[in-house]
Amino acid sequence: MFILCETVKVSGQYDECNGCEFQTLAVVPPYSNTSIVVNTQYSLHINYTRNNTICKFNKLFYEHYRYKWNLTENCSGIYIEEPADSAYLPILSAFIILFAFGTIWYMVKCIYKCTKNNEIWQRYIIRTTDNDFGSPLDNSTLINERPPSVRKHPHRIKSIDVFRGLCICVMIFVNYGGGGYWFFKHSVWNGLTVADLVFPWFVWIMGLSLTVSLSNKLRRATPRRQILMGILQRALVLVLIGIILNSNENQDHDLTTLRFPGVLQRLGVTYLIVGVIEVTFAKRTVSVNEFGRLAFLEDILIAIPQWIIMLTFALVHILITFLVEVPGCGRGYLGPGGLEDLGHHVNCTGGAAGYIDRLVFGEHMYKKPSCQFLYETKVYYDPEGMLGTLTSCLLMYMGVQAGHILHTYTNVKTRTIRWVVWGLATGLIGCILCGFTKNNGLIPLNKNLWSLSFVLVVGGMAFLIEAYFFVMVDILRKWGGRPLFYPEYAAKRDPSTSPACLLLGKSLWLEPPIPTPQSAHLPVCIAPPHSPIA
């Protein structure tokens, strides 16, 4: 094998870095070797050039593997020098253990239920008793058979709690690193991972819960002003907790750089906007024949003013995104800036959304966006900025619509079909907007921007998941929701275990408190942990 006798520059770039120029990975002197550490989350384009001939490969490297590449005139391939165990074995083992434990537990419960009132089992008990104490004069055995119990539909929809519990479990796992797996981390820019679903699903569930709570209060003739005050109070609490969490992450302990936006702030503001709109226009009662032939659209017709406002929010979001002239960036830019598009939009991270946030918040923004490492962005960008609040309201109102379906129709089949139709329809529209591609659609799926396609797709997924949980947990009762039901069950018994308090406690006590001489204020004295959902 002939080794090159000249200096060679090895260049590369990850597939995830859309439109980025190749970067120098190593410079190899003649008759020598070097080591390159690469990120195994994404496929890597790697090449070198000699005598106007390019030797290139595109390869997804495995974690902890050692590879070797001989730089020769024949352009030899990359091969494995030292393999390692699969990085997916731990999570696969965890799922197998949990599945086996759940299966065994389910089988034990089924056996117990089947034998508890079984006629054969009762005859065996009676026969054993007769043999021990003697048979009665009358050899006939009387068995009191219980009539089958009639399953009544529970007043509380347990599937909502199960869905919320799923979000809580994933949230905690993601915030603790997600095992280091790429799909438990946020997308670099465009795309969708498990970590990107938690926060939007919370928004959707808050809309559904808002409808359930509001319907009960309106039915009891609770004054609207009182309901509005409750919504305002809850929104302010969420915003306040969010500010406390941000102060905990402020390593400089400087109020001039304290981040104002955040996850709980977005939840609070969105909840306030949607809550005020819904309380203002929601009807206390609906007449039986109010909509006549259009009764099959009753769940939509009772909320026409609300839907007009939400669609207006979506339209305003689109107009600002594509028509606002951003200095040095033009109109309609949706990329991460930095290396993207060959560096032509280096300071344009987030387009109009990022530009507005930098004008309004200045230094009070998130300073480590998910695109910073790969795209080498230089400007700040906050994924919970101002413009995304508009589409967040739309997503929350999709949850409100699910609640309207729940309260408008009593037939189980009707509810389920409508949830499924809404899920498929909104998901399909979102996929059409993104062109069924990651980067080449009109409006890509983007959690950082809270793009319209992203909101529609994750909202559609929420409709389908709720429909599935509703059938399995509340109707067929094939599954009690365990263990996903436990976080929400605990929150009802102890408010300190609510999702907001869990997030607060996790962020404050992830690492031991370290006193600092600057201040005795609690959020400042706590060692800054990993950032919460962003």
pLDDT in tens, 191-205: 999 999 999 999 999
The pLDDT value given to residue 251? 64
C-alpha to C-alpha distance for 38 and 321, rounded to whole angstroms: 35
Contact between 263 and 387 under an 8 Å Cβ cutoff? The reply is no
Which pair of tokens denotes residue 387?
Answer: 């413009």
- Which of residues 58 and 152 earns the better pLDDT score? 58
Is pLDDT of 322 > 90? yes
Q: Please check whether residues 316 and 180 belong to one and the same domain.
A: yes
Mean local confidence (pLDDT), 163-167: 90
**CA–CA gap between residue 145 and residue 143 (Å, rounded):** 6
pLDDT at 209 over 60: yes
Same structural domain, 400 and 458: yes
Asked if 202 and 279 sit in the same domain, the reply is: yes
> What total of structural domains would you count in the chain?
3
Tell me what pLDDT residue 512 has: 42
Residue 377 φ/ψ, nearest 5 degrees: -70, 150
SS3 call for 44: strand
Pairing of strands 66-68, 44-50: unpaired
CA-closest candidate to residue 113, choices 141, 162, 148, 156 = 148
437: Cβ–Cβ under 8 A, 6 or more apart, which residues? 444
| Helix 263-281, helix 224-249: angle, nearest 10 | 170
| Backbone φ and ψ of 23, nearest 5° | -110, 150
How far, CA to CA in Å, does 74 sit from each of 55, 71, 239, 315? 9, 8, 62, 57
Residues 6+ apart with CB under 8 A from 514: 525, 526, 527
- How big is the chain by its Cα radius of gyration, in Å? 29
Dihedrals φ, ψ of 68, to 5°?
Answer: -135, 140
Q: What is the pLDDT of residue 401?
A: 96
Name, in order, each residue with C-beta under 8 angstroms of 248's C-beta and a sequence gap of 6 or more.
Answer: 507, 508, 523, 526, 528, 529
> Residue 61 gets which letter from DSSP?
P
Mean pLDDT computed over 379-388 = 92
223-231 contact pairs (CB < 8 A, 24+): 224/279, 224/280, 227/279, 228/275, 228/276, 228/279, 231/271, 231/272, 231/275, 231/276, 231/279
Whether 534 is covered by a domain: the verdict is: no
Phi, psi for residue 373 in degrees, rounded to 5: -65, -50
Q: Is the model more confident about 482 or about 443?
A: 443
Domain that holds residue 47: 8-82
Cα(126)–Cα(132) distance, integer angstroms: 10
Mean pLDDT of the chain: 82
Asked whether 452 and 441 are in contact (CB, 8 A), the reply is no
Mean pLDDT across 206-235: 91
Amino acid (1-letter code) at residue 386: M
Residue 496: pLDDT over 90: no
Q: Answer with the one of 22, 54, 82 that is the final residue of a domain.
A: 82
| pLDDT for the residue 130 | 53
Q: What three-state secondary structure class fits 158?
A: helix
Considering the domain architecture, whether residues 128 and 178 belong to the same structural domain is answered as: no
211 and 245 part of one domain: yes
Q: What is the dihedral of CA 392, 393, 394, 396, to 10 degrees?
A: 90
Whole-angstrom distance, CA of residue 360 vs CA of residue 24: 37
Same domain for 187 and 46: no
Evaluate whether residue 384 is within a structural domain.
Answer: yes
Closest CA relative to residue 46, chosen from 4, 15, 80: 15
Residue 186 is among the residues annotated as catalytic for this protein: yes
Residue 426 belongs to a domain:
yes
What whole-number distance in Å separates Cα of residue 200 and Cα of residue 267?
A: 10
Residue 462 neighbours by CB under 8 Å, 6+ apart: 163, 200, 201, 204, 205, 398, 399, 402, 423
Dihedral, CA of residue 494, residue 496, residue 498 and residue 504, to nearest 10? -170
In this structure, is residue 143 part of a structural domain? no
Residue 60 and residue 23 share a domain: yes
H-assigned helices in 376-498: 388-408, 412-433, 452-469, 485-493
Place of tokens 């390692």: 84
445-474 average pLDDT score: 95
Q: Which two tokens stand for residue 17?
A: 């870095």
- Lowest-pLDDT range, 9-18, 50-59, 218-227? 50-59
Is the separation of the CB atoms in 26 and 55 below 8 Å? no
The amino acid occupying position 381 is: Y
- Residue 142: predicted pLDDT: 46
Q: Which of 45, 153, 155, 186 is catalytic?
A: 186
Q: Are residues 122 and 233 in the same domain?
A: no
In this structure, is residue 400 part of a structural domain? yes
Residue 150 confidence (pLDDT) above 50: no
Q: Which residue has the tokens 């117990």?
A: 112
In a domain? residue 516: no
Q: What is the enclosing helix (H) or strand (E) of 47?
A: strand 44-50
- Describe the chain by its helix, strand, coil percentages, rounded to 5: 55, 5, 40
- The confidence band for 294, taking pLDDT boundaries of 50, 70 and 90, is confident
Tokens of 132: 């021990």
Same domain, 217 and 336: yes
Q: Would residue 519 count as lying in a domain?
A: no
Rounded to 5°, the CA angle 301-306-309 comes to: 130
Asked whether residue 493 carries a pLDDT value surpassing 80, the answer given is: no
Its sign, for the CA torsion 233, 238, 244, 247, is: negative
Looking at the predicted structure, is the pLDDT value of residue 125 above 80? no
Kindly state the DSSP code that residue 437 receives in the 8-state scheme: S
Let me know if residue 531 belongs to a domain.
Answer: no
Q: What distance in Å separates the CA atoms of residue 357 and residue 262, rounded to the nearest whole number? A: 12
CA 468/CA 481 separation, integer angstroms: 12
Tell me what percent of the residues of the chain surpass a pLDDT of 70. 81
Q: Are residues 346 and 445 in the same domain?
A: yes
Same domain, 127 and 180: no
pLDDT attached to residue 127 = 58
Q: Is the pLDDT of residue 212 over 80?
A: yes
Q: Are residues 221 and 325 in the same domain?
A: yes
d(CA 414, CA 422): 12
Residues 248-262 have a mean pLDDT of 78
206-228 as b/e: b if 16+ CB within 10 A: bbbbbbbebbebbeeeeeeeebe
Above 60 in pLDDT, residue 513?
A: no
Does the pLDDT of residue 517 top 50, yes or no? no
Q: Which residue has the higher pLDDT, 305 or 520?
A: 305
- pLDDT, tens digit, 9 for 90 and up, residues 384-440: 999 999 999 999 999 999 999 998 888 999 999 999 999 999 999 999 999 999 998
